[in-house]
Structures are given as C-alpha cells and as structure tokens.
Amino acid sequence: MSKLLITSGCSFSECLSTGIDTWPRHLARKLESHGYEKHISCGMGSQGNGLISRGPMYEVTKALKTHKPEDILVGIMWSHSNRFDYRCEDPTVLSWGNENKHHWMVNPRAFVDGAPNNWVIGNLHWDSVEFSTYFKYYHSHIGSSILSLEHILRTQYFLKLKKVPYFFTDFVDYNIVEKAFLHEPELTYLMDELDKEQYLPVTSEHGWLKENSMTKDEYLKEHNGWQWIHPKTHHHKEFVDRVIYPWLQDKRYI
C-alpha cells in the first residue's frame, strides 16, 4: 500500500506559495523513493498552534480508514504561542468582511472537508478590532503558552494512541514558552509531559539555520536587525537533508 505524509505548521511549513518550496515539499520529494506517494499539507501562514494541531488530527482520522498507522508519517512545526484562533459563528460580522485583508491566506478558514470557513486566524499585532480586543481583555503570556502546550500534548497523545509515526519541531527558538517563563509552575508540568524523543534534535529550524547552515553568514546578514526571518528554498532543503531525513532514518521510520 502507498504511504502518506501529513505536515502542518505556519508560513515556515505552508505549501500554498508558488515562490518558495518549504521543508514539507522537499521532504515529500525525498520520501517518494520510500513509497510515500501522497502528501497532505495542513500548513498556512500566520496560523496558530490550535489550527496547526487540528488539521493533522483530522487528516489522520480520515487516513486510518484506508491506511495502516505505520504507513502514515506526520511532521509538525509549531508556531508562536501568541498566535491564536477561534470559531466565528457568523463570519459576516468580522470587521474586514469580504475584504481579502490577509491576502497571503484564507481567513477565516476551515480544516474539515465540507465545513464552512468559520475558523479565524488571529495574531496579536494585527490591527483589526477582533485582535486588539483579544489582546486587551484575554491575552496572557503564560496563558497563551499553556494553550499551545495543551494543543501540542493533545496531538502527541492522539498520535501515540493511534500508533502513527511522527516528529515535532519548532519554527523559531522560545516560540512556545518565552525564556523568562521557563520555570513557571503552570508551565513546567506541561513541558515535562512533552516527549522530546519525538522532537527533531534542534532548538528550531531557524535556530539550526543560524548556527549550522552552509550559508549562515549570508542568512544572518539578511536579518538586518530582525529577530528572525523566513528561510529560503535552499535553507528548507538543507534542513530536510541534514536534519529531518537523517533523524527519520535513525528512528527507522523510513
């Protein structure tokens, strides 16, 4: 039987753009020789860890109707905990209406076949009233980290229960829990539950590229004061060739 690759993440992992090949595309090509004939991408720019987790869980549920667990591989790159999502009952009430304000993605979106686009992607720094209201009344640095950890753990527990091979990683360093909050008791018990054996042996894709890329000097120069920037196509390929693929071999997933 043919095998299936399911990936998810934010802009570091989306497969919608025509101008860049992110790591899932490179990985999908590399796994073709191992019998992975299909790739399903749940990635989308700017989405938070709630939607990043829900998409693969839905796709795995569907895939298990036709595939054995060992013939499915899930790869997830987690985004920043200050990104969030919620289900809007009536999208026509959103302040941007039918305007394609967030032109690089569908917002609101859906992740279930046949469902309406009711899931709103939110980022704290966006200027729409929905997001400024959330930031003013509901946002908490520790609270958002708790929610992201719960999304990650739910996905971890689900995949282990279903016996589906998987790997996790992060898009940048300290994206889930900021350095200042690493020892907060509301967070440490959740962090202790993370199965680090299923994480790639890096702090994040961005962190690895800064330290190990063959073109790291060029990459760092391009930051121009920014804390992080998007990797280019050749960076994503290097990350697959030197990190993801060897890890999958070591785990005997391929």
| Residue 239 reports pLDDT greater than 80 | yes
How many angstroms separate the CA atoms of 223 and 231, rounded?
10
Distance between terminal CA atoms of the chain? 15
pLDDT confidence bin for 103, thresholds 50/70/90: low
Q: For residues 235 and 226, give the distance between their C-alpha atoms in angstroms, rounded to a whole number.
A: 17
Q: Is the pLDDT reported for residue 104 higher than 90?
A: no
Q: Is residue 224 part of a domain?
A: yes
In a domain, 124, yes or no: no
pTM of the model: 0.97
Condensed to tens digits (0 to 9), the pLDDT of residues 163-189 reads: 999 999 999 999 999 999 999 999 999
In a domain, 103, yes or no: no
Please check whether residue 13 lies inside any domain of the structure: yes
Kindly state whether residue 116 falls inside one of the protein's structural domains: no
Contacts by residues 31-36 (CB-CB < 8 Å, ≥ 24 positions apart)? 31/3, 31/5, 31/73, 31/254, 34/3, 34/254, 35/2, 35/3, 35/71, 36/2, 36/3, 36/4, 36/5, 36/73
* Distance in angstroms (rounded) separating the CA atoms of residues 200 and 41: 19
| Residue 120 covered by a domain | no
- pLDDT of amino acid 100: 61
The tally of domains found in the chain comes to 1
> 148 pLDDT exceeds 90?
yes
Residue 96 within a domain:
no
pLDDT in tens, 20-51: 999 999 999 999 999 999 999 999 999 999 99
On whether residue 242 sits in a domain, the answer given is yes
The mean predicted confidence, pLDDT, of the chain is 96
Residue 14 belongs to domain with CATH number: 3.40.50.1110
Residue 33's domain spans which residues?
Answer: 3-81+141-250
